[in-house]
Amino acid sequence: MAPLRRAARFGVTLAALGAVLGPAPLGTASESRTTHPERTVAMAAQAPEDSRTLAGRRIVLSYAGPTPPPGVLQTLREGRAAGVILFGENITGPEQLAEAVAELKQAAAEAPHPHALLLMTDQEGGKVRRLSGAPELSARRTGQAANPVGAAVASGTGAARNLTGAGLNLNLAPVLDVYDTPDNFIDHSERSYSQDPSTVGTLGSAFLAAQQGLGVAATAKHFPGLGAAARGENTDERPVTLDIPLEQIRNRGEAPYRAAIAAGVRMVMASWAVYPALDPDRPAGLSPAVIQGELRGRLGFDGVTVTDAMEAGALTPYGDTGDRAVAAAEAGMDLLLCSARDPQQAEDATEALAAALDTGRLDRHAFTAAVARVDALRASLD
């Protein structure tokens, strides 16, 4: 990442962190023991937000059908959600979508400390599109184009224009998985650019840079890579273990993320597969070794981390929504994707995070730092 961009993003993050933590105490120790009514009133007005509100600011919620339910709108008015993910069932046409997006944005604008709402969908291209139109090329077809980089730029540009035209500001793309066997899980749906990690990194970075240049945040996924998953190994449906050597994980799976991070990708989504070479007991998105050790430590990513679907079948052995939410936060996930189209899922995750924060199971400093990263992303978008 260019030094100026890194400095600017760091400044926004510091400002957001200051807003979360509140002002530092002023005066000497003896002054702090003296009663100052006017200062007490001012400090009370700037008191830190309650745990439930802080927790909500790490949640992406979802709902069923074309109309945002009243409960969802109230959650947004209370400032207890960072974003909303939209699916095909939420969209019946341009006019309906515009009305729904306007309702969501208006509710979020009424929050006590409003930030832009993260309005997102999966607009990868090819078979995985929630909106009709661009990008029409799949990742595989992009990689096979006569001018692959030009095709990737065109796809990223098209995705951004399509999403901004619909009032959305975040895309859960591009996929950076490097497939190893033709017609395996990720290649079957044409979601991988190539079998070559360098090509995937180049094309994914071209896509995300073009998209982000037009104001739509990008998400690189699924870290540290699903390219070795066999045809039936779908983490949405069941637990998946990818027992591949550490060298292969780092040289193939993680390699495209270096390019994406250098290109300034705003968000990274973790895989729900288990990688025994990194952590034999937990999926990547629940593993501090993967998120803190590999993604943040080895690769130096300082943006927002986001889970894959919290209701995924791969998480069946790891408890209910609340258990999963706390485990994800412990691992270092900033945003939790509650995409079951059930607002209660988001409420359950919020309550569990708040309780874990209040009991001290989740470290408050780390928690507020995660909120600050999310707030910084929101503040940078329309």
The DSSP output letter for 253 is I
Q: What is the DSSP letter of 374?
A: H
Q: Is 283 left (phi over 0), alpha (psi -120 to 50) or beta?
A: beta
Classified by CATH at the fold level, domain 3-17+52-379 comes out as TIM Barrel (3.20.20)
Residue where the block lists tokens 């193939």: 252
In this structure, how many other beta carbons lie within 10 angstroms of the beta carbon of residue 27? Answer: 11
Q: What pLDDT band is residue 279 in, cutting at 50, 70 and 90?
A: very high
Q: In angstroms, rounded to a whole number, what is the distance separating the alpha carbons of residues 82 and 377?
A: 10
Q: Please check the confidence at residue 42 and state whether its pLDDT lies above 80.
A: no
Residue 28's pLDDT is what? 30
Q: Scan for tokens 């070559």, then name that residue.
A: 196
> Are 328 and 367 within 8 A, CB to CB?
no
Pairing of strands 118-121, 170-171: parallel
Give percent of the chain above pLDDT 70.
87
Give residue 39's pLDDT band: very low, low, confident or very high (50, 70, 90): very low
Residue 247 makes CB contacts below 8 A (sequence gap 6+) with none
45 pLDDT above the threshold of 70: no
What six digits make up the tokens of 154?
Answer: 């065109």
Would you put residue 325 in left (φ > 0), alpha (ψ -120 to 50) or beta? alpha
Higher pLDDT among residues 152 and 12, named by residue: 152
CB 218 within 8 A of CB 266: yes
Confidence check: pLDDT of 51 > 60: yes
Two tokens, residue 12: 């926004």
In whole angstroms, give the CA distance from residue 86 to residue 73.
Answer: 14
Mean per-residue pLDDT, 87-93: 96
Q: How far is CA 203 from the centre of its chain?
A: 20
By percentage, how much of the chain surpasses pLDDT 90? 87
Number of C-beta neighbours around residue 206 at 10 A = 24
Average of pLDDT values for 242-266? 98
One-letter amino acid for residue 335 of the chain: L
- CB distance 262 to 300 below 8 Å: no
Q: Which run of H or E residues covers position 293?
A: none
Res 32 pLDDT > 90: no
For residue 222, is the peptide bond before it cis, meaning its omega torsion is within 30 degrees of 0?
yes
